[in-house]
């Protein structure tokens, strides 16, 4: 797993107070290698992990979920409702890739959070993978991780910042960047950014360029 010194911000989004209290209590009482915070840090930023209760979609408003999936790099994990499967289907169709259920145990919940921040959800026996090929760059055969790294490149993050964000080494980040470049047929960071913007990646402007080597 990644560095234990970095605080992991977990944002719980639900319209039901009992669900919010239950999940907050579990995470507040968690012990282990992760330092979990449930409130936005003073410096701001984006949550590392969002536990998104699909009950939020009950009123037909999916703007919050759209924002999370399209305008942030947070890992969104749906809290699925087995009695309302249509809500889970809507979340999946919007692009949510992973889900847990309300009966997740405290131990399993902590495991899911840990695997989410370390980038190993695909190896997690607890989280249910909602297969979808509808992620940015999929048509160019980018992997989800390559797509995530490319999005961070477009947002202006340095290789070290990307490594810190997704809990991998700088060398791993460089490997993802090189493999993404090969797949999208570019050789420089500016070319990759232009390609990404033309293919729907977040178009936030930034002030600095960082060489990819």
Bridge partners (DSSP) listed for residue 11: 50
* Residue-range definition of the domain harbouring residue 163: 138-198
- Is the pLDDT assigned to residue 3 strictly greater than 50? no
Q: Using the Cα atoms of residue 93, residue 94, residue 98 and residue 104 in order, give the sign of their dihedral.
A: negative
If asked whether residues 144 and 123 sit together in one domain, one would say no
Q: What is the pLDDT of residues 189-202, one digit of tens each?
A: 999 999 999 988 87
Question: What's the rounded Cα separation, in Å, for the pair 131 and 55?
Answer: 21
Is there a single domain that holds both residue 17 and residue 114? yes
Q: What is the pLDDT of residues 87-142, one digit of tens each?
A: 888 888 788 989 999 999 999 999 999 999 888 888 888 998 876 555 678 888 88
Residues 20 and 106 both lie in one domain? yes
Question: How many domains, in total, are found in the chain?
Answer: 2
Report the pLDDT averaged over residues 12-31. Answer: 93
Is residue 45 domain-shared with residue 81, that is, in the same domain?
Answer: yes
> Residue 170: which CATH number?
1.10.10.10
Residue 172 placed within a domain? yes
Would you say residue 111 lies in a domain?
yes
Whether pTM exceeds 0.75: no
- Residues 90 and 122 grouped into a single domain: yes
């Amino acid at each position: 797993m990644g560095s234990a010194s970095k605080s992991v911000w977990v944002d719980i989004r639900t319209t039901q107070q009992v669900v919010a209290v239950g999940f907050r209590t579990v995470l507040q009482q968690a012990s282990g290698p992760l330092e979990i915070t449930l409130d936005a840090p003073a410096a701001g930023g984006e949550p590392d992990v969002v536990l998104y209760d699909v009950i939020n979609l009950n009123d037909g408003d999916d703007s919050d979920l759209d924002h999370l999936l399209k305008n942030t790099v947070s890992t969104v994990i749906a809290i699925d409702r087995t009695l309302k499967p249509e809500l889970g289907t809507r979340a999946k169709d919007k692009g949510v890739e992973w889900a847990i259920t309300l009966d997740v145990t405290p131990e399993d919940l902590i495991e899911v959070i840990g695997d989410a921040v370390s980038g190993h959800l695909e190896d997690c026996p607890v989280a249910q993978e909602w297969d979808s090929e509808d992620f940015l760059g999929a048509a160019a055969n980018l992997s989800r991780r390559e797509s995530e790294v490319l999005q961070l490149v477009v947002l202006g993050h340095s290789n070290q910042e990307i490594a810190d964000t997704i809990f991998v080494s700088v060398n791993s980040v460089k490997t993802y960047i090189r493999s993404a470049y090969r797949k999208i047929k570019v050789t420089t960071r500016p070319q990759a950014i232009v390609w990404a913007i033309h293919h729907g990646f977040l178009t936030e402007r930034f002030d600095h360029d960082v060489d990819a080597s």
